[in-house]
Amino acid sequence: VSLQELMQPESGANGTAIAEFILLGLVEAPGLQPVVFVLFLFAYLVTVGGNLSILAAILVEPKLHTPMYFFLGNLSVLDVGCISVTVPSVLSRLLSHKRAVPYGACLTQLFFFHLFVGVDCFLLTAMAYDRFLAICRPLTYSTRMSQTVQRMLVAASWACAFTNALTHTVAMSMLNFCGPNVINHFYCDLPQLFQLSCSSTQLNELLLFAVGFIMAGTPMALIVISYIHVAAAVLQIRSAEGRKKAFSTCGSHLTVVVIFYGSGIFNYMRLGSTKLSDKDKAVGIFNTVINPMLNPIIYSLRNPDVQSALWRMLTGRRLLA
């Protein structure tokens, strides 16, 4: 890259003068890096192990061959994908002591992160719709939530999330990066890259809010509407036992929804803040590490069906058909 090109970064349509970014990671102090490595490795193993165990239990246990567990199995696959986008690269950088990330690798990470998080958004909505049909429309539930419908909901979730992730990645590739290339974070994401661009990010930020409203706002509204109907239907159940059973199937899902959307909104609604602080890293840990790790814990701890299936799988016992 010539000096003239560096001095005039705006001249190229989508040229970028920076070949790599420097990710500062979570901690600067060398003494704390082994601690971060151990914690992240532990979180990664727990998340992958927990989610794959739930997936295996759903596949081998006939009792769990229902729409709710079909979606939960898909959610487990997503959680493994989501944590695998960020944590292994953090671990390898901690081992190699290299902080540089090629420009292309940064955009690839951005794409896959938004792909998995986007599918998560829609899957949680499909699960809310499933609970709505099961509790509010029990007579037509089996026809309205047939295997075809389940597969179509999952396919549509992937298609919408893919479009969203591709849109952001292409829009990001149009920006010029010519000056500082240091990112005070442990993975590449939109807010961090916006701050390093030497071309205007106004359109990108507008795009993020507009698409974010469709990607997060619409699913959130549908989840809220579903649960208003569910709550109204459950409150009409005469027996306390019946109410408890109906609410228990929704409790796990609602917990996951609140954590997922809470951390996501906090992360992307703070784009106006000029300096990225350690708070952003904490939110990043929540989005990429804690959320995927919590899902199997929440679903297995609160769910006797999953617990018994896991127990049978671990002890090698099978249900007598």
CA 247 to chain centre: 25
| Short-list 308, 254, 255, CA closest to 131 | 254
Residue 156 above 80 pLDDT? Answer: yes
The predicted model scores a pTM of 0.86
Residue 265 above 80 pLDDT? Answer: no
| Residues 22/100, Cβ–Cβ less than 8 Å | yes
Q: Say whether 202 sits in a helix, a strand or coil.
A: helix
DSSP run (H or E) holding 57: helix 33-60
List Cβ neighbours of 315 (8 Å cut-off, separation of 6 or more).
none
pLDDT at residue 107, as a whole number: 94
The CATH topology of domain 25-311 is Rhopdopsin 7-helix transmembrane proteins (1.20.1070)
pLDDT at residue 9, as a whole number: 39
| Residues 26/36, Cβ–Cβ less than 8 Å | yes
In DSSP notation, 209-274 reads HHHHIIIIIHHHHHHHHHHHHHHHHHHT-SSHHHHHHHHHHHHHHHHHHHHHHHHHHHHHTTTT-S
How does pLDDT run across 221-240, given as a tens digit for each residue?
999 999 899 888 888 887 88
How does pLDDT run across 302-313, given as a tens digit for each residue?
677 788 888 888
List Cβ neighbours of 236 (8 Å cut-off, separation of 6 or more).
none
